[in-house]
Amino acid sequence: MLMMTGLAFFLSASSLPGEPAPAAQPEAKLALGYTVKNRQIDAESAGHCYQPGESVIAWTHITGLATGFVEHVWFRNGEEVARHYLPVSSGRSWRTWSRHTLQAGDYRVQILAPDRKELAVSTFSAKVCE
């Protein structure tokens, strides 16, 4: 498992509160891309080709969670390569994201709620594109 320094943690992860948004059940939207502008991601299409060496952002919009931390867990070829703890609080809508520099392989990004239930997941491959 990869360990991160405090500075690396703050440079690779962000979390910002949004407007009040009470919800009965937690909801999360996950998107992948390269840049976040005004707390929104410039998401790539589902068939986009990610390449080794690129820095990719996993962005989530979350509502209906209890106060605590959500986790962005990055896996490459079934092995955990990064875990980001991002703060959230109840009664708010949150946009939060983490960043990871890719190596060649098959990736899965999993978003976990404070109670460790899976909120969202995305899979993709990093390879040399033609």
Determine the 3-state secondary structure of 32 from DSSP.
strand
Determine the 3-state secondary structure of 13 from DSSP.
strand
Residue type, 101: T
pLDDT at residue 92, as a whole number: 80
Report the relative pairing of strands 92-101 and 13-20 from DSSP bridges.
Answer: antiparallel
Average pLDDT, the chain: 87
Instruction: State percent of the chain over pLDDT 70.
Output: 82
Domain ranges of the chain: 6-126
Report the relative pairing of strands 79-88 and 68-76 from DSSP bridges.
Answer: antiparallel
Residue of 2, 97, 92, 122 lying closest to 41 (CA atoms): 97
Residue given tokens 């092995």 in the structure block: 79
Summarize pLDDT for 41-99 with one digit per residue, the tens.
999 988 899 999 999 999 999 998 888 999 999 999 999 999 999 998 887 889 999 99
pLDDT at residue 26, as a whole number: 86
Confidence (pTM): 0.80
Query: Considering the domain 6-126 in this protein, what is its CATH number?
Result: 2.60.40.10
* CA–CA separation, 29 and 31 (whole Å): 7
